[in-house]
Structure 1
Amino acid sequence: MASSAQSPVQTLPKSLDLIAIGRSSVDLYGQQVGGRLEDMASFAKYLGGSPTNTAAGGARLGLRTGLVTRVGADHMGRFIREELEREGVDVTGVVSDPERLTALVVLGIRDRDNFPLIFYRENCADMALDVADLNPDWLRGTGAVLINGTHLSQPGAFAASVAAARLVKGNGGRVVFDIDYRPVLWGLAGLDRGEDRFVAHAGVTNRLREVLPLCDLIVGTEEEIHILGGVTDTVSALTAIRSLTNAVIVCKRGADGCVAFPGAIPAAVTDGLVVPGYPVEVFNVLGAGDAFMAGFLRGWLRDEPLERCCAWGNACGAIVVSRHGCAPAMPTWPELEWFLAQPSLPRRLRDCAELEHIHWATTRRHRYDELTVLAVDHRSQFEDLARELDADPARIPQFKALALKAVERVAGGDDRFGLLLDGRYGFDALASAADAPYWIGRPIEEPKSRPLVFESSADVATELTEWPLAHVVKCLVFYHPDDPEDLRERQERQLLRLFDACRKTRHEMLAEVIIPAGLPVDATTVARAIRRFYAIGVKPDWWKLEPAADPVAWRNIEAAVLENDPYCRGVVLLGLSAPEEELLASFLAAAPAGIVKGFAVGRTIFYDAARGWLANRLDDDEVVAMMAGKLKTLVDAWRRARADAMGGRAA
């Protein structure tokens, strides 16, 4: 047997837990399930590539991860880099290759057993990885390195993987080997057979075995154990592997869980450490192995017992097989904790509303401790103003572009600022805002409708598929919890439709609730409306609510939100054309409520400027200066009110 593969005692603290090396691609997942790849009409774009998925999955579980790969100096390469950064993965080792394109993979879900996929990897960036791409100082700062079998098929990538493994090993780290066998990427299957998992080949076996003396952990499916072992009998293959390494070997067995072999190989596979899987309905097996690796490493890299590492890996795999996609399906640590704590789970796991909500809420981009928004999504109000002033409504889009400039003047790139813009008159401003870091909200409702009517297609989900993912769907509903039953039910059905559409199209939702004029309001009214929304299953990411002078009302609102959705992003105050002095006073009442993150105010800021500009009494610069000044006044006032409230609390 080979000499012990156990790592020496680490003497220096590590800045990262894990650096993965290898494939990084854009996955284009067919959105029509149950048919041929030839017949799929639309595709969802996701982060992809086995080690990339594991790096992202590990970060979601709380590991400090990094990635070594190449991406093209193209749009898809920038997408990968940005997605990794959003996931919290260190991209120090991600190299942009100006001569090659980013790898693509086109995938589909045919049925429970067939998942056609095509690798677009002809001279792609990640397979050109080379030793020169390694950053030795950065690699020395990790506790472990994950190398990947597919990348051993290319000489340069093989050399880079081995060099990284030796460097990490020599600095007290551990080496993890994901066998990850894809015959097509070794030239052993037709280009249309990307889903094939096993073709016996002595050359592949010999190449993979070269890294075994470096390994502390080896993970693979039974087919992958067979290619590494060189035989198709699992025990014999394990025995052959054990003769070359003392590494812990983990054999993934799908729905049956996994079996770990920390020492000698027994006479039967089931005589190893058997850890059962979870009986869930399989929707998509792709990505499950990467999720298993992330879950297993969450335990193994923190020296948890081997059985617990296996259980976490199995749980992560079970969660991912129930979902569409690979990297975006990876669970977060709160999600995994919730899953493991349940005494029973539905077999059709993707229908578990609580689990899916935790997943959604804990994978949202960015965190907002403050949000101050200029709302210029008004449509009918601008039309009325143009009509009153006999101004050309074609000028309205130009004014909304000036509003973006006003925000930029105050914000200067600060992502705590945002805009509410509509697609009808604000399309050009929305396009310009795409390059800025600001929060963007966009209305979906027909102005002034009660009962609620959507401005777009009769199928609101179809409309949202055309919206960028960064756009938050804002829906204003004139609603009172004591509305007549038929009216209330009509509006609630619309809200449920919209909420479902937002989740399915991966858009955040902002619910703006205004109590209709003339109806009774007390300190409980808005809180009761919020509780009713939650009761019917609507969990908006944001609430936009009317300012209230009564601190009791805000305490009731905060309790209603936090008791039903502790993951809610928060509340922003709307303005209702209130004079500036009234808004400033309302900030003082709302500031002590931590659930309130700021405001989304419109007419108080823009109305006078719009009126003067449409009447040709103000020029562009004067309008921008006027709106920027009013916005800054409100921002400064909100921040003072919040600081005073927090200081009072601390005292």
Structure 2
Amino acid sequence: MKPLDIIAIGRAGVDLYGEQVGGRLEDMASFAKYLGGSPTNTAVGLARLGLNAGLITRVGGDHMGRFIREELVREGVDTRGVRSDPARLTALVLLGIRENGTYPLIFYRQDCADMALCEADIDPALIAQAGAVLLSGTHFSTAQTAAACRRAATLMRGQGGRVVLDVDYRPVLWDLAPRDAGEDRFVASHSVTATMQRALDLVDLVVGTEEEIHLLGGSTNTLDALRSIRTLTDAPVVVKRGAKGCVVFEGVIPGELDEGLVAPAFAVPVANVLGAGDGFMAGFLRGWLRGEPMARSAAWGNACGAIVVARHGCAPAMPTWPELEAFMAAGGARSPASLEQMHWATTRAPADEALTILAIDHRGLFETLIDSGGGDEDRVATFKDLASQAMERTAAGDRACGLLLDGRFGARALAQSADAPYWIGRPIEISGSRPLRFEGGADVAITLRSWPRPHAVKCNLRYHPDDPADLRAEQDAQLLRLFDATRGTGHELLLEIIAAPYGPVAHDTVARVMAHVYALGIYPDWWKLEATDDPAAWAAIEAVIADADPWCRGVVVLGAESSPAHLARSFAAAAPRRIVKGFAVGRAIWHDVAQQWFTGMIDDETALVRLTANFAQMVATWREARSRALAPCG
């Protein structure tokens, strides 16, 4: 395991952000759930910026605690120091965003898990693998948590590492403000000042807002507070000043604030300041821990804070290293649209290099079967259960396998798949619709809000580049609605292109449709494309993606009504193209089995065995084609 650049210590909870911006918390109708807690947010920010970051905290032995742990793993944060506490619940915070610049907060942290952190939770072996620790001021608010922080700092100092203090002052968490005043940032307290100052003998860097520096220095005059701090530590002190940027003081405190090292802020629209400080800390530490000049570290901190304030949430708003590089290269004037696409693409969970999908999201075919008296909805659902089981038998835990299932006949199988590791996609279009229409109603975002976040949205687009202009315009408008909805709800999009039935198909026909979709500003995470044995068609497809979206997850080959022999030829033609990751095939796997099962010629177990064998054979055919295509010559 790689050495850790830094371990953050302290708060870890779940942020429930009100989605109705500008309203009171009393009037919130829905909340978005995010990872939260200042040191946890910073750890995520550091991991996204390319550092090896860890976290020491406690979470409840509950659903929210498991959510935190899973999110940290997904973000690449080391969780060896995260303990599950069966006796306490995970902390929660309810937050709102008001248009007048206020941000109401309610902390649900009474006897919460992370405040049970103790000295025994500080593992010397874990500290020994890190170069620094980040302490959070909130965890000096009780003797037990303060002792844990001091132990970590002492161990780190003893091995020659560095200690960072984020003042992170929330008066309500020191019982100095009413429970409904969680947004209050400053209440003077000699007791808190004295407690926090006792930590200064162990730190190598201090970071805080002007109000937090007032608290730490015991004076509401910033320069006097800084001079007081300087009598207790020689560590650099970074003062965050919001729209004024930041000032760094490395030695003697001068006569004016602007005589320190001033790093100006970036002028950006402000939507939410709540995560800005954690973003600043991640950006600053990305430079400071890697030995960059202090001015560059400060500029990176300001840039990360500026990026975060334009977004909803704290941890999910943290930028990645490619984002920070792009923002700095453009002098802070990076196009919001291009930056948001980069953010989306670089914060997704990593994708496997292969994706082999059993597609049984079909509805029209089964509706026809029911109408003809060949079955009923429950019997169709049972067959889809069998297909789902066949995929699992073949996959045996391999995350490179997946399912396309609909929410009508496949609802039971979808529910059973919730705890499985496989890729899951669901159709959103009304089967066979052209122009495109969505299941669940015209407002597709409302439909998607009821879907679990891990379910990818599959949309079958019946589109030819030579379609009449009015048809193309209507389909384009629907696609834009869908894309905006998926980004709003956080679902990935798999866009399936069906062109062949609607006009002549040349080697560049599908590529032209894809280029048009990108020109609309739509970036599917996945493409599902018709099988073809024309290598030129796959070359054109790969070229379009390389030019428009270097972060595209990839292409899967759809089967439609292709025979196994045609699919094998298509796999051979597609396999040399690395952008093609696998297939999403349905009828070639299950159609004949379905006919026999619905007519009573075979029982459930026989159907399951045959479905498993058919899917396994399709996976083997793809993998063999891929292996041959990528094998070294000679």
Q: Could you say whether these structures have the same fold, taking a TM-score greater than 0.5 normalized by the shorter chain as the test? A: yes
Counterpart-to-counterpart distance in 1, 2:84 and 2:416: 26
Aligned position for 1:365: 349
Residue in structure 2 matching 1:436, options 403, 420, 434? 420
Contact 1:14 1:142 in 2 (8 A): no
Aligned residue among 512, 525, 544 for 1:541: 525
Q: Which moved more, 1:414-423 or 1:107-116?
A: 107-116
Kept in 1, the 8 Å contact 2:263–2:299? The answer is yes
From 484, 492, 496, give the equivalent of 1:508. Answer: 492
Deviation larger for 79-88 or 14-23: 14-23
Task: Give 1:366 shift.
Answer: 2.5
Would you say 1:571 and 2:555 are equivalent positions? yes
Q: Is the 8 A contact 1:386 1:614 kept in 2?
A: no
Matched, 1:231 2:219: yes
- Is 1:491 the counterpart of 2:475? The answer is yes
Distance 2:383 2:172 in 1: 55
CA 1:212–1:518: 2 relative to 1, 3 Å: closer
Count of residues paired in the alignment = 634
Deviation readout 1:51-72 (Å, 9 max, x if unpaired): 0000011000001000000100
1:98-123 alpha-carbon deviations (Å, 9 max, x no partner): 10000000000012420000000111
Is the contact made by 1:261 and 1:272 (CA closer than 8 Å) also made in structure 2?
yes
Does residue 619 (structure 1) correspond to residue 603 (structure 2)? The answer is yes
Alignment CA distance shift 1:155-1:561 (3 Å): same
Deviation at 1:628, TM superposition (A): 1.0
The answer to whether the 8 Å contact 1:61/1:332 transfers is: yes
- Mapped to 2, the partners of 1:393 and 1:95 lie a distance apart of 46
Alpha-carbon separation, structure 2, partners of 1:246 and 1:324: 37
Amino acid paired to 2:17: Y
Distance 1:433 1:148, change over 3 A: same
Tell me the alpha carbon deviations over residues 581-636 of structure 1, each in whole angstroms, 9 at most, x when there is no partner.
11111100000111100000000011112112211222221111111111111111
Q: How far is the alpha carbon of 1:184 from its aligned partner?
A: 0.3
Residue 23 of structure 1 aligns to a residue in which SS?
coil
Give the deviation of 1:209 after TM superposition: 0.6
Answer yes or no: is the 8 Å Cα contact 2:266–2:332 preserved in 1: no
- Quote the offset at 1:498 in angstroms: 0.2
Amino acid at match of 1:587: F
CA distance in 1, matches of 2:611, 2:127: 50
* Alpha-carbon distance in 1 for matches of 2:508, 2:565: 25
Matches within 5 A, 1:374-393: 374-388=358-372, 390-393=374-377
Given residue 431 of structure 1, which amino acid in structure 2 is its aligned partner?
A
Q: 1:386 Cα deviation (Å)?
A: 3.8
Taking the aligned partners of 2:439 and 2:575, their CA distance within structure 1 comes to 34
2:463/2:502 contact within 8 Å kept: no
Deviation readout 1:2-45 (Å, 9 max, x if unpaired): xxxxxxxxxxx971001000000100000000111100100000
* 1:446 aligns with one of 430, 435, 442: 430
Separation of aligned partners in 1, 2:190 and 2:229: 14
Unpaired stretches in structure 2, ≥5 consecutive residues: none
The residue aligned with 1:23 is: 11
Q: Which amino acid aligns with 1:29?
A: Y
Question: What is the letter of the counterpart of residue 390 of structure 1?
Answer: G
1:272 matched residue in structure 2: 260
The CA distance in 1 between the partners of 2:329 and 2:593, in whole Å, is 56
Report whether the alignment pairs 1:59 with 2:47.
yes
Q: How far does residue 178 in structure 1 lie from its aligned partner after superposition?
A: 0.2
2:338 to 328, 333, 354: 354
Distance 1:518 1:268, change over 3 A: closer
Report deviation, 1:262: 1.1
Distance 2:2 2:497 in 1: 49
CA distance in 1, matches of 2:449, 2:94: 19
2:502, 2:224 → 1: CA distance? 80
Higher mean C-alpha deviation, range 514-523 or range 337-346: 337-346
- Equivalent residue, structure 2, for 1:72: 60
Query: TM-score, structure 2 length as denominator?
Result: 0.99
How far residue 554 of structure 1 moved from its aligned partner, in angstroms, is: 0.5
The letter of the residue matching 2:496 is: E
Deviation by residue 1:230-255 (Cα, 9 ceiling, x = unmatched): 01100010011011001111000001
Q: What per-residue deviation string (whole Å, max 9, x for no partner) do you get for residues 312-340 of structure 1?
A: 00000000011000000000001111111
What is the CA–CA distance in structure 2 between the aligned matches of 1:383 and 1:84, rounded to whole Å? Answer: 43
Q: Residue 211 in 1 paired to residue 199 in 2?
A: yes
For residue 516 of structure 1, report the CA deviation from its aligned partner.
Answer: 4.2
Structure 1 segments (4+ residues) deviating >4 Å = none
Q: In structure 1, give the amino acid aligned to 2:630.
A: M
Checking the alignment, whether the CA contact within 8 Å between 1:379 and 1:425 is kept in structure 2 is: yes
| 1:34 counterpart = 2:18 | no
What is the alpha-carbon distance in structure 2 between the residues aligned to residue 234 and residue 518 of structure 1?
71
Q: Does 1:427 align with 2:415?
A: no
Cα shift at 1:577: 2.2
Give 1:517's aligned residue: 501
Correspondences of 1:105-504 after superposition (within 5 Å) = 105-343=93-331, 345=333, 352-388=336-372, 390-504=374-488
Q: 1:531 matched to which residue of 2? A: 515
| Whole-angstrom CA distance in 2 between matches of 1:344 and 1:198 | 30
8 Å contact from structure 2 (residues 464, 502) kept in 1? no
Q: Give the whole-Å Cα distance in 2 for the aligned partners of 1:518 and 1:338.
A: 41
Q: Is residue 531–residue 562 contact of structure 2 (8 Å, CA) maintained in 1?
A: no
The 2-side partners of 1:612 and 1:135 are apart by: 61
Q: Note the C-alpha offset of 1:404.
A: 1.3
**3-state SS, counterpart of residue 146 of structure 1:** strand
Tell me the distance in 2 between the aligned counterparts of 1:84 and 1:324. Answer: 19
Contact 1:24 1:50 in 2 (8 A): yes
**Code of the aligned partner of 1:595:** I
Give 3-state SS (helix, strand or coil) of 2:369's partner: helix
In 2, the alpha carbon distance for the partners of 1:191 and 1:455 equals 44
Q: Tell me, which stretches of 5 or more residues in structure 1 are unaligned?
A: 1-12
For 2:351 and 2:200, locate their aligned partners in 1 and report how far apart those are by CA, in whole Å.
42
Asked if the contact 1:293–1:313 (Cα under 8 Å) also holds between the matched residues in 2, the reply is yes
SS in structure 1 of the partner of residue 501 of structure 2: coil
In structure 2, the partner of 1:88 is 76
Which whole-Å CA distance do the structure 2 matches of 1:35 and 1:129 have between them?
35
1:637 aligns with 2:621: yes
SS of the aligned residue for 2:237 comes to: strand
Contact 2:14-2:33 at 8 Å conserved across structures: yes
TM-score scaled by length of structure 1: 0.96
Mapping of residues 549-564 of structure 1, within 5 Å: 549-564=533-548
> Residue 457 of structure 1: CA displacement?
1.8
Asked if 1 retains the 8 angstrom alpha-carbon contact of 2:263 and 2:295, the reply is: yes
> What SS does the aligned partner of 1:283 have?
coil
One-letter code of the match for 1:490?
E
Instruction: Name the CA distance, whole Å, in 2 between partners of 1:344 and 1:151.
Output: 34
Match of 1:608 in 2: 592
CA positional deviation for 1:456: 1.5
Distance apart, 1:344 and its partner CA: 5.7
Find the counterpart in structure 1 of residue 581 from structure 2: 597
- C-alpha change, 1:555 and 1:425, in structure 2 (3 Å) is same
Alignment-mate amino acid for residue 69 of structure 1: T
Q: Which amino acid aligns with 1:631?
A: F
CA RMSD in angstroms, aligned pairs only: 1.2
Q: CA deviation at 1:388?
A: 4.2
1:638 to partner: Cα distance: 0.8
The alignment partner of 1:32 has SS state of: coil
